[in-house]
Amino acid sequence: MQGIERKAAIAAYKEKKVASGIYRISCQASGESWIGQWTNIDAIKTRLWFTLRQNSSMQKALQSAWNTHGEDQFSFDILERFEEDEPDYIRASRLKERALFWREKLNAYAI
């Protein structure tokens, strides 16, 4: 019985739709914002927070703000979400375009 349940769980995972999108990280203490795009918008916060907690973020300004002000001063917001309904190359182009739009609109840094 466990083998059947495991196979069903694996099949369901493979069929799961993954949403991409545009996100913002904000520091309340400094007023700074960072905008990024990712192909799995529901998983990126975990990845970002892990690297920041480990002091291993490639974004030096973001890491510096994190180290100066602390985790409790940061928030994560999804600005736009795109369901997986188009070819990868079109989605990638749209993500870049929309991230640039949000960086300009919010006067934010790129991630």
Indicate the number of domains in the chain. 1
Note down pLDDT in tens along the chain; length 111 residues. Answer: 577 787 776 666 566 678 999 999 999 999 999 999 999 999 999 999 999 999 999 999 999 999 999 999 999 999 999 877 778 888 889 999 999 999 999 999 999
Residue 11 maps to a domain: no
Residue 6 maps to a domain: no
CA nearest neighbour of 23 among 10, 33, 9, 37: 37
Beta strand segments in the chain, E: 20-27, 33-38, 74-82, 109-110
Residue 10 maps to a domain: no
pTM as predicted:
0.83
pLDDT given at position 66: 98
Residue 1 maps to a domain: no
Residue 67 maps to a domain: yes
Residue 89 maps to a domain: yes
Strand 33-38 with 109-110, pairing: parallel
Range of the domain at 39: 19-110
- CATH number assigned to the domain comprising residue 84: 3.40.1440.10
Residue 90 maps to a domain: yes
Contact 23, 77 (CB under 8 A): yes
Residue 3 maps to a domain: no
CA nearest neighbour of 63 among 51, 46, 75: 51
